[in-house]
Structure 1
């Protein structure tokens, strides 16, 4: 082996190992056969045509989330200090965006409100629903998925602000076969509760 090869061989090996490690950290492993999304359980009313006076529309903002939730993977709370992820289970998008879409669609289907997304709020935000998605995963200690949403409801200009915590728990066994459907059910329970809170 030449001197040049003796120098380059360890460097190449280090780069290869680093590449493998980085791939693991970024979730570069095998992609699951299917990807998970949230689907509304409220009945679809079909075509909708609505109008709203100033301040009567509802704007649904994308909630803030913790780092372990801001991922396409589903977190498992093994202990208060240990977070892992459900094997072979991934979202099509991050849960904060999927949850905001679900809440908006549930309000649209179950109330008479005009519902806007964050990008449409320049028209007239009306009531603004914001908040933090505190939990959105599986708790191995209780054997349940948990969806916990700390929501705020404010009028335009902040003349009135309300806050409320919504929580739903649904049993699951920790596998990708049960955690996905359970999370969808729990998210729908919270979305329905938010819709009733807003009313209209």
Structure 2
């Protein structure tokens, strides 16, 4: 073989161990799956004015990231090791809310607001993480429902689910359960 080819091959192999094309993939990626979702083939129709528009809630900076927060005490926060959300928790929660409300089959539900009409469901996601003090997965949501008649209603929803250990395999399912519990309560509230 050609000496230049062998040198080139060995340099390429050496550099392959030094080059990284992105962050290390975490051991676990978490998502939210609805426990109540519309069946395949389910449809809804209506006008934008009669639709319920589910907007992405705002979120505090500590949960507006893809890391899973662990509340150590009142002023100290950490993040669950080797675990990330597949995307922003507020976006995941928006989809979960919309799917849960759709499953009730009472109204047309959309997740965008193209024309600014229709009843709007928004709010603020206050918590979606693990509380080390109580060993609970916590989901807390301040909902805001703005009707087409100008009426605004607010309500706080919360669910806490016990967690065996502060590991992704336990925290993930507990967060999914807590988020579904809150979504179901919101679905009942909006009708």
TM-score category of the 2 structures, normalised to the smaller one: 0.7 to 0.9
Q: Aligned equivalents of 2:58 and 2:37: distance in 1? A: 28
SS at 1:79 equivalent: coil
For residue 176 of structure 1, the aligned residue among 158, 168, 177 is: 168
The TM-score normalised by the length of structure 2 is 0.83
Find the counterpart in structure 1 of residue 82 from structure 2.
88
What is aligned with 1:51? Answer: 45
Q: Does 1:159 align with 2:150?
A: yes
Gaps of 5+ in 2: 1-21
Q: 1:105 aligns with which of 82, 99, 106?
A: 99
Answer yes or no: is 1:30 the counterpart of 2:24. yes
Alignment partner of 2:24: what SS?
coil
Q: CA deviation at 1:88?
A: 1.5
Listed one character per residue, the Cα deviations across residues 147-181 of structure 1 (whole Å, up to 9, x for unaligned) are 0000010113x611100000000011211110000
1:190 aligns with 2:178: no
What does 1:114-153 correspond to in 2, within 5 Å? 114-118=108-112, 121-123=113-115, 125-153=117-145
Q: CA deviation at 1:127?
A: 1.0
Q: Where do 4+ consecutive residues of structure 1 move more than 6 Å?
A: none
Count of aligned positions:
169
Contact kept, 8 Å, 1:66 with 1:134, in 2: the verdict is yes
Any conservation in 1 of the 2:97–2:187 contact (CA below 8 Å)?
yes
SS, match of residue 134 in structure 1 = strand
Root-mean-square deviation (CA), in Å? 1.7
Taking the aligned partners of 1:108 and 1:195, their CA distance within structure 2 comes to 9
